[in-house]
Amino acid sequence: EEHYFNEKCGKSKAMITEAKTVIPGGVQHNLAFNYPFPIVITKAEGAKMYDLDGNEYYDLLQAGGPTILGSNDPVVREKVIDLLNTCGPSTGLFHEYEYKLAKKISEMVPSVEMFRMLGSGTEACMCAARIARLATGKKNILKMGGAYHGWSDQMAYGIRIPGTKGMMSKGVPGFVFRHTDEFFPNDLEDLEKHLKRNKHTGGTAAVFIEPIGPESGTRPVSKEFVKGCERLAHRYGALLVCDEVVSGFRIGPGGAQGYYGIDPDLTIFGKIIAGGFPGAGGVGGHRDVMAHLGAGLDSSGKKVSKALCGGTLAATPVSCVAGYYTLCEIEKRNACEVAGRMGDRLTKGLKASIRKYNLPFVAFNIGSVCHLDNAGTMHFAIDWTKPWQLPHILKETGIRQKEMEHMGAAYMAEGLITLAGTRLYTSAAYTEEMIDDVISRFD
């Protein structure tokens, strides 16, 4: 494999070798799989990417989710260039697109009456936790086992860095987790147990869920479970917080909450809301809850306590104009449905290959979020709330992290860029012919 990639991606290897002298690990993203070494992308367009050595790839990574229209969408790009020509990247003052984007989001997602733009999904998760505590006067945050809600101290609870044995919570003092706990996906009894227990330790401020299941649905959850989370959270006086960083404007124009028919108090956005540009994070929700942001009185004239949040480059004109036109184009092109159909077609093709070769793999999708996993691997076998079981489970199933990385590298050799070899995003830039070509390469 190394030899193959040395030949095929020699220029990338040389650059990464240099980069390692000044960048830890040679890359800027701790969460990326980079086996056998990272490749350097020089061009991206629609459903394709090209590396420094001139190799062409199908893009099933979609920058980790944001580029649902395809990479480097010309309409969004032109709008951003127009804006740069008039006011540059940032001024520190209000721009009309802050309003336009907030308005657009509130029109597309009915639970969002008010919206605040932030710098990233991680920041938005932090902000939501603060608002929830102020709105409820309670302390604890509950999240689903294994769910990723960004890398802030408190939310790093229970997460592993892919490709390493380390927990992401390394470097975070244990006391930070005093008010964070996890419940099992698809287990309402377990959620209720936690809610009851929390009554003695300051109550539950929020139940965080990724409505398509933790880790973009790597562990899928049922509709009944999602609705049950909403019911139970409210019964115990907690807010329901939907993390739609991945699913927002991807599963449907109204996000996964529209798909599951829930009305969260707060929703966390990221990725698509800045159309692949930097500054992709935001919190939206019910008016009374969102009143805990901003200055002065809430809309009823009441004085409420305010959460500190913001950032020098939060809500820059660039993020807002890119986000606004991305959402407009999603609607115009019916992008969620188109990308979803491509996801269905891809998954069907993968399932056929799995059957044909009788592989111990499983393929499934929720619209344009597709999963191709080793059946019984860590994602399915692990009780994420007991990470110390990890070595035992890996031994039992015979699956090693290294093997997962090798799969990702094998796909890359076939011209397919995936997220860690196990997650595949489709975009509206794919055609059926392209998906069929992708399927034959997997096959």
Q: Is 145 in the site for ligand PMP (CB under 6 A)?
A: no
Pairing of strands 140-144, 114-118: unpaired
Site for ligand PMP in 53-72 (CB under 6 A): 64
Q: What is the closest distance, in whole angstroms, from the C-beta atom of residue 245 to ligand PMP in the complex?
A: 4
Site for ligand PMP in 202-231 (CB under 6 A): 210
CB 255 within 8 A of CB 248: yes
Q: Give the residue from 246, 221, 241 showing the smallest Cα distance to 384.
A: 221
Please identify which residue in the block is written with the tokens 């039992």.
Answer: 396
Q: Which of 150, 228, 253, 408 binds ligand PMP (CB under 6 A)?
A: 150
Tokens for 370? 């597709």
245 or 339: CB nearest ligand PMP: 245
List % helix, strand, coil for the chain (3-state, nearest 5).
45, 15, 40
51 or 243: CB nearest ligand PMP: 243
Please identify which residue in the block is written with the tokens 């159909």.
Answer: 341
270 or 285: CB nearest ligand PMP: 270
Q: Is 128 in the site for ligand PMP (CB under 6 A)?
A: no
Q: Which of 121, 146, 258, 279 binds ligand PMP (CB under 6 A)?
A: 121
Provide the 10 A C-beta neighbour count for residue 227: 15
Q: Is 125 in the site for ligand PMP (CB under 6 A)?
A: yes
Q: Which of 149, 179, 250, 286 binds ligand PMP (CB under 6 A)?
A: 149
Q: Which of 12, 67, 122, 136 binds ligand PMP (CB under 6 A)?
A: 122
Q: Is 238 in the site for ligand PMP (CB under 6 A)?
A: no
Phi, psi of 209, rounded to the nearest 5 degrees: -135, 145
Tokens for 121? 């999904």
281 or 408: CB nearest ligand PMP: 281
Q: Which of 246, 314, 339, 404 binds ligand PMP (CB under 6 A)?
A: 246
End-to-end CA distance of the chain: 19
Tokens for 180? 């964070």
232 or 283: CB nearest ligand PMP: 283
CB 114 within 8 A of CB 287: yes
Q: Which of 245, 339, 390, 434 binds ligand PMP (CB under 6 A)?
A: 245
CB 51 within 8 A of CB 57: yes
CB 267 within 8 A of CB 160: no
Task: Report how many residues bind ligand PMP under the rule CB under 6 A.
Answer: 15
246 or 399: CB nearest ligand PMP: 246
d(CA 257, CA 259): 5
Measured from each CB, the residue nearest to ligand PMP is 121
Residues of this chain that bind ligand PMP (CB under 6 A): 64, 120-122, 125, 148-150, 210, 243, 245-246, 270, 280-281
